[in-house]
């Protein structure tokens, strides 16, 4: 299996696990994280189909360059939004635990994004 496939499938697995956790127990996590339950649940419900898409791309024989670039772009936006969220840019400041969780998740997303960028084959130019 290529590094790109590993990066995509690892990303999909992490998204699925996070999505299940956030969608399933948002009410329990909201207070300790200092984040709105609706935000946590909404993020979880976004991550579930997103994980399916990323897994579908990762399982294809030759992942589409456009699909991989879209995944990289959405992941980069997710990291940026996570940094803004942890810093209180959306009108509320997460607890210290919430900030740590958001930053840990952003670091994982950034890591998968970096792997995907590094593993994406360079566009071949005809001779």
**3-class SS string, the chain:** CCHHHHHHHHHHHHHHHHHHHHHHHHHHHHHHHCCCHHHHHHHHHHHHHHHHHHHHHHHCCCCCHHHHHHHHHHHHHHHHHHHHHHCCCCCCCCCHHHHHHHHHHHHHHHHHHHHHHHHCCCCCCCC
Where are the chain's structural domains? 3-119
* Per-residue pLDDT at 29: 98
Rounded to two decimals, the pTM is 0.91
Residue 125: pLDDT over 70 = no
For 82-105, the pLDDT digits (tens) are: 999 999 999 999 999 999 999 999
Q: Could you read off the pLDDT of 32-68 as tens digits, one per residue?
A: 999 999 999 999 999 999 999 999 999 999 999 999 9
**Tokens at residue 81, please?**
């939004």
pLDDT for 123 equals 59
**From the CA atom positions of the chain, what is the Rg in Å?**
16
């Amino acid at each position: 299996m290529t590094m790109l496939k590993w990066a995509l499938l690892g990303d999909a697995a992490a998204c699925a696990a996070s999505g299940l956790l956030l969608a399933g127990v948002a009410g329990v996590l909201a207070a300790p994280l200092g984040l709105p339950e609706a935000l946590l649940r909404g993020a979880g419900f976004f991550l579930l189909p997103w994980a399916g898409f990323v897994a579908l791309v990762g399982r294809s024989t030759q992942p589409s360059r456009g699909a991989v670039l879209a995944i990289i772009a959405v992941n980069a936006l997710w990291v940026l939004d996570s940094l803004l969220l942890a810093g209180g840019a959306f009108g509320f400041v997460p607890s210290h635990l919430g900030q740590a969780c958001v930053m840990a998740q952003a670091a994982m997303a950034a890591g998968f994004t970096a792997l995907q960028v590094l593993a994406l084959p360079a566009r071949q130019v005809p001779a």
